[in-house]
Amino acid sequence: MTTPSSVLAADHRELVDSFATFVSRELEPLAGELDAESDIPPRELTDYVRRRSAALGFYAADYPEEVGGGALPFAAMVALYAAANRSGCRLAPYALAGSDGPSPLLLHGTPHQRKQYLEPLVRGQKTRCFGLTEPQAGSDAFTLTTTARRVGDRWALTGRKIFVSNAEHADFAVIVAAVREAGERAVPAVFVLAIDEPGLVVGQRFTGMSGEPLSEIVLDDVRVADDAVIGIGDAAVLEHGIASLSRGRLVVAAICVGIAEHALALGLRHARHRHSFGRPIGDYQHVQDHLVRSRAEVEAAALLTFAAARLVDEGVAAPENAALAKLTASTTAVRVVDRAVQIHGAAAWVKGHPLEFLYRHVRMMTIIEGTTEIQKVIIARAMGLGGDLERSSGMSTGAGRS
pLDDT of residue 244: 78
Strand positions, DSSP E, 40-153: 128-131, 147-151
pLDDT of residue 321: 94
What are 339-395's pLDDT values in tens digits?
A: 999 999 999 999 889 999 999 999 999 998 889 999 999 999 999 998 654 444 444
What are 193-246's pLDDT values in tens digits?
A: 999 999 999 998 888 887 788 999 999 999 999 999 988 875 555 566 667 788
Q: Considering the domain boundaries, does residue 354 fall inside one?
A: yes
Evaluate if residue 100 carries a pLDDT over 50: yes
Task: Give yes or no: residues 19 and 144 share one domain.
Answer: no
If you average pLDDT over residues 156-169, what whole number do you get? 94
Task: Give yes or no: residues 24 and 57 share one domain.
Answer: yes
Tell me phi and psi for residue 193, to 5 degrees: -150, 155
If you average pLDDT over residues 140-150, what whole number do you get? 82
The C-alpha angle 35, 39, 45, rounded to 5 degrees, equals 70
Cα–Cα distance measured from residue 55 to residue 70, given in angstroms and rounded to the nearest whole number: 11
Of the ranges 180-194, 201-215, 265-279, which is most confident? 265-279
DSSP bridge partners of 194: 172
Cα–Cα distance measured from residue 176 to residue 133, given in angstroms and rounded to the nearest whole number: 9
* Beta strand 128-131 pairing with 154-165: unpaired
Tell me phi and psi for residue 173, to 5 degrees: -125, 130
Task: Give yes or no: residues 35 and 10 share one domain.
Answer: yes
Share of the chain above pLDDT 70, in %: 91
Q: Considering the domain boundaries, does residue 211 fall inside one?
A: yes
The CATH code of the domain that includes 112 is 1.10.540.10
Q: Considering the domain boundaries, does residue 62 fall inside one?
A: yes
Q: How many CB atoms lie within 10 A of CB 286?
A: 9
The C-alpha angle 401, 102, 56, rounded to 5 degrees, equals 120
Q: Considering the domain boundaries, does residue 159 fall inside one?
A: yes
Q: Considering the domain boundaries, does residue 388 fall inside one?
A: no
**64 to each of 52, 61, 74, 104, 217, how far by Cα in Å?**
19, 8, 11, 11, 30
Task: Give yes or no: residues 368 and 262 share one domain.
Answer: yes
Cα–Cα distance measured from residue 400 to residue 98, given in angstroms and rounded to the nearest whole number: 10
Report which DSSP code applies to 184: P
Cα–Cα distance measured from residue 228 to residue 219, given in angstroms and rounded to the nearest whole number: 15
The CATH code of the domain that includes 155 is 2.40.110.10
If you average pLDDT over residues 274-286, what whole number do you get? 92
The CATH code of the domain that includes 268 is 1.20.140.10
Q: What is the number of structural domains in the chain?
A: 3
pLDDT of residue 11: 81
Q: Considering the domain boundaries, does residue 402 fall inside one?
A: no
Q: Considering the domain boundaries, does residue 301 fall inside one?
A: yes
176-185, 324-333, 392-401: least confident range? 392-401
- Taken in order 84, 87, 92, 95, the sign of the CA dihedral is negative
Choosing from 189, 211, 232, the residue where a domain stops is 232
Choosing from 201, 232, 263, the residue where a domain stops is 232
Q: How many CB atoms lie within 10 A of CB 2?
A: 6
Choosing from 232, 251, 271, the residue where a domain stops is 232
**Cβ-proximal residues to 285 (8 Å cutoff; 6+ apart), any chain:** none
pLDDT of residue 392: 46
**Cβ-proximal residues to 186 (8 Å cutoff; 6+ apart), any chain:** 144, 147, 178, 179, 180
Task: Give yes or no: residues 301 and 224 share one domain.
Answer: no
Calculate the CA 213 to chain-centre distance. 15
Q: Considering the domain boundaries, does residue 396 fall inside one?
A: no
Predicted model pTM: 0.91
Q: What is the mean pLDDT of the chain?
A: 89
Task: Give yes or no: residues 96 and 192 share one domain.
Answer: no
Task: Give yes or no: residues 203 and 264 share one domain.
Answer: no
Task: Give yes or no: residues 253 and 378 share one domain.
Answer: yes
pLDDT of residue 291: 96
Task: Give yes or no: residues 157 and 264 share one domain.
Answer: no
Structural contact between residues 321 and 311, judged by C-beta atoms closer than 8 angstroms: yes
Euclidean distance between the first and the last CA atom of the chain, given in angstroms as a whole number: 34
Task: Give yes or no: residues 379 and 247 share one domain.
Answer: yes
pLDDT of residue 348: 94
Query: Which of 396, 356, 399, 23 lies closest to 188, judged by CA?
Result: 396
Structural contact between residues 259 and 85, judged by C-beta atoms closer than 8 angstroms: yes
Query: Which of 364, 376, 370 lies closest to 394, judged by CA?
Result: 370
Task: Give yes or no: residues 242 and 379 share one domain.
Answer: yes
pLDDT of residue 293: 97
Task: Give yes or no: residues 77 and 36 share one domain.
Answer: yes
Provide the phi-psi class of 369: left if phi over 0, else alpha when psi is between -120 and 50, else beta: left
- Domain range enclosing 305: 237-383
What are 290-322's pLDDT values in tens digits?
A: 999 999 999 999 999 999 999 999 988 789 999
If you average pLDDT over residues 258-284, what whole number do you get? 95
